[in-house]
Chains A and B, each alone.
Chain A
Amino acid sequence: MIEVSLTKKLVTASGIVVLTADFTIRENEFITFFGESGAGKTTILRMLAGLTKPDAGFIRAGDEVWFDSSKGIDWPVQKRNIGFVFQDYSLFPNMTIEQNLEFALGGKSGKERIKELLATVNMLGLKDRRPHQLSGGQNQRVAILRAILRQPKLLFLDEPFSALDLDMRLRLQEEVFQIHRKFAMTTVFVSHHITEVFKLSDRVMVIEGGRISRAGSPGEVFGENRLSSKFSFIGEVAEIIRDDVVNILTILIGSNLVRTVASDEEIHDIQPGDKVFVSSKAFNPIVMKYNSAK
């Protein structure tokens, strides 16, 4: 368990904000910091990892004290045994994919394990390429492998999917979730994408105005359970077309486009690009076996 109580002064576009964060992270939990960009969620992640120094407070991980301003303790990131995945992948451009992974292991022998890991993500054939020769998704995959190679207890993910296209994003989300489960890791995730937060997190903390404004399961936090619906999805409005008395909405849910109608009242505060709940309770859906070979 990790107990955290931190403050840090942030200089933002709207003036100086004092970021305060008090929370605990349980073992093997997938926890997400959610909020607008600039809200301070990345700063919280970086303070936990030891990349940014908090102004005051403490971080206790199990029986280790990583940071305690009252005692002058501040462990460097090297000592905290964590894995960190950056938004921009941060693979070393001077090394091949394989060398990037070997560098993570240091002197330890692990060539076989690296090959095995690369094979599980279908990238063994690319091991001698350099990062700039691969796609963003492939780079981020390697960056995730590199972060978990040293088998850290904690994995930090700083908006790792934000630079990827939807298809790759969905695939990597799945892989991250598998890794989280398989290696029994505690994962701390930062995102402003409500769909991936829903999909991955056990618990969400919403950062607003420099503090944690809401915390709980994704359902509790985003109010999903207030609707007594059979079906509920979060989607993004792609298009609104006015047609006589109704409006036709095209909504992107996952990777599917869904078309539905809505009254003027329903959509008065909705514009293309907005995130919306799409729920339904008055019909019985047809369920059939899906044959993926087709």
Chain B
Amino acid sequence: MTFDFNPLFLTFQLAAVTTVILLVIGIPLAYWLAFSPRKWRSIIEPLVSMPLVLPPTVLGFYLLLLFSPKYPLGNFLETYFNVRVVFTFWGLIIGSIIFSLPFMVNPIKSGFQNLPKSLSEAAYALGKSPGETLLKVLLPNIKPAVLTGIVMSFAHTVGEFGVVLMIGGNIPGETRVASIAIFSEVEALNYPAANFYSLVLVTTAFVILFLLYHWNRKSVKIF
């Protein structure tokens, strides 16, 4: 019996691209949330964490409306840039970034907040800029937190279903990721295929989390 590997490739491609983009946005955002004045933080912080409590379908629904060519933003993107977001791979990426944002930002933010303040102050007193301090002092000292952010974002993107289904649909080779493939195989009563995808995801999730705990146990000894 042969299985279609495409949904798995698509899943891991989506997770990898999402994680890289999240790392690039997540670190500055976490830094800002950890050290900025409280008044702005109190609005942005709940927004970042909203995907944790909202049903993924709610997020997917609004993203679908937002990027639909029938509404201003989607229409604008399609008319001037010839870009369509809904029911494409890029739509999945945008949805995944928003949906996994707290998984990247929250661990890194707590990492920054748990560092003694005098560490960055010591670097500033040595004449170092905030940028150099971030790269050479702060980030190297919160490696476990950054690693947790990377792994959790990746794993969470692999496992998402609702957002992906709402904004991407179920287009083979384009938006049909493993979680959706499982659902449609079950609907088609094709249990062996559903079982195959499921087993791969279960194994991947276990290996990823096992490695994460293993690495973090080792690196925590630095402190």
Counting chain A CB atoms within 10 Å of each CB, which of B121, B125, B129, B136 scores highest?
B125
Q: B125 to chain A: which residues have CB within 8 Å?
A: 49, 51, 77-78, 82-84, 147
Docked CA distance A239–B129 (Å): 51
Tell me if B141 counts as interface (CB < 8 A to partner A): yes
User: Known contacts A51-B121, A130-B222: does B137 contact A92 (CB below 8 Å)?
Assistant: yes
Tell me if A277 counts as interface (CB < 8 A to partner B): no
Query: CB within 8 A of B124: which of A77, A94, A106, A130?
Result: A77
User: Known contacts A104-B126, A146-B126: does B223 contact A92 (CB below 8 Å)?
Assistant: no
Docked CA distance A5–B124 (Å): 24
Interface string of B109-123 (1 = CB under 8 A from A): 000000010110111
Q: In the complex the two chains form, is A92's CB within 8 Å of B141's CB?
A: yes
Docked CA distance A130–B223 (Å): 10
Docked CA distance A92–B141 (Å): 8
Interface residues of B in 134-178 (CB under 8 A from A): 136-137, 140-141
Least CB separation from A92: chain B residue = B137
B-side interface mostly? helix
Query: CB within 8 A of A86: which of B121, B137, B223?
Result: B121
Tell me if B37 counts as interface (CB < 8 A to partner A): no
Q: B119 to chain A: which residues have CB within 8 Å?
A: 90, 92
Number of residues in B with C-beta < 8 Å to the partner?
18
Tell me if B128 counts as interface (CB < 8 A to partner A): yes
Query: CB within 8 A of B118: which of A86, A104, A130?
Result: A86
Q: In the complex the two chains form, is B127's CB within 8 Å of A150's CB?
A: yes
Interface string of A134-174 (1 = CB under 8 A from B): 00000000010011001000000000000000000000000
Known: A81-B127, A92-B140. 19 other contacts (CB 8 A): A51-B121, A51-B125, A76-B124, A82-B125, A83-B125, A84-B121, A84-B122, A84-B125, A86-B118, A86-B122, A88-B116, A90-B122, A91-B122, A92-B123, A92-B137, A94-B137, A94-B141, A143-B122, A146-B126
Listed in ascending order, the chain B residues whose CB lies under 8 Å from chain A are 116, 118-119, 121-129, 136-137, 140-141, 222-223
